[in-house]
Amino acid sequence: MTSHYLRTSDVAQAIGVHPNTVRLYEEWGFLPSIPRNASGYRQFTPAHLEQMRLARLALHGGWPGKKIRESALKLVRQAASGDLGGALEQAYHHRALVQAEQARAEAAAAMLERWAQGAPADAAGARLWIGQVAERLDVTTDMLRNWERNGLIDVPRDPGNGYRLYGAAEIGRLRVIRMLIRAGYSVMAVLRMLLHLDRGGEGDLRQVLDTPRPEDDVYVAADRWLSTLAEHEQRAADVIAQLEKMIEGR
């Protein structure tokens, strides 16, 4: 094998992955075409190695949402095709997507903090049935029942017929729940925070939202949403830096 070429094992060792991961990245289109020698061995160049760094950086681990996942895949494949300028442009768009998610998450957390300090989230008025509340909040009645089943809210009942009756306090709480969930927080994170408040807890509510409990052995990205988004913003910045390095080195 010519000495200036890298083997699959060389690339894998440099990136810190199994050789099969390198082969999978090639199969999935995350790497440029890799020439073979007469014996059929792959012949990687330094450019392949840098593309592998980019792909691993952009794609390793989960994504906070479908749009961000698709954006990461797009920029890696653009770079693999040789369009580094287009990939860099996409990387800036990718970072903007992450930052937009962060803004939504922060806005929801700000509304939560205001509500937790006693500010009403809905005006007082006549008590409403579940269908009326669903229409007002633009959610389904199934969603409202599901949030109740999951312990996010306890809705009083009409003593005469047993139907749910929602007042300003319940509707305000539901507005906060809806905004947090639409901003990406998991039901478990919202429940954790609400239980904290219902028990008279104080302190940094963002930290409560973002910190799974010790007994939560299994949790997903949305259970620590603010940290996940911060990590992805840093990853996006690192992707931009890697692409700029690749462009300069071409």
- Segment (H or E) for 133: helix 130-137
**Nearest CA-CA partner of 142 in 150, 116, 242, 88:** 150
Neighbours of 26 (CB within 10 A): 21
Tell me what pLDDT residue 214 has. 73
Q: Which two structure tokens, joined as six digits, stand for 142? A: 């199934």
pLDDT digits over 51-101, tens only?
Answer: 999 999 999 887 888 999 999 999 999 999 999 999 999 999 999 999 999
pLDDT digits over 162-213, tens only?
Answer: 889 999 999 999 999 999 999 999 999 999 999 999 999 888 899 998 888 7
| Neighbour-count burial for 31-41, b at 16+ CB within 10 Å, e otherwise | bbebeeeeeee
- DSSP conformation class of 223: G
Give dist(CA 147, CA 153) in Å, integer.
7
pLDDT at 1 over 60: no
DSSP SS3 for 139 = coil
When pLDDT is cut at 50, 70 and 90, the band that residue 2 belongs to is very low
When pLDDT is cut at 50, 70 and 90, the band that residue 217 belongs to is low
Contact yes or no for 78/227 (Cβ under 8 A): no
pLDDT digits over 237-246, tens only?
Answer: 999 999 999 9
Neighbours of 107 (CB within 10 A): 12
Contact yes or no for 43/37 (Cβ under 8 A): yes
- DSSP conformation class of 36: B
Taking the chain, what is the end-to-end CA distance rounded to the nearest angstrom?
24
Query: What are the structural domains, with CATH classification, of the chain?
Result: 1-60 (1.10.1660.10)
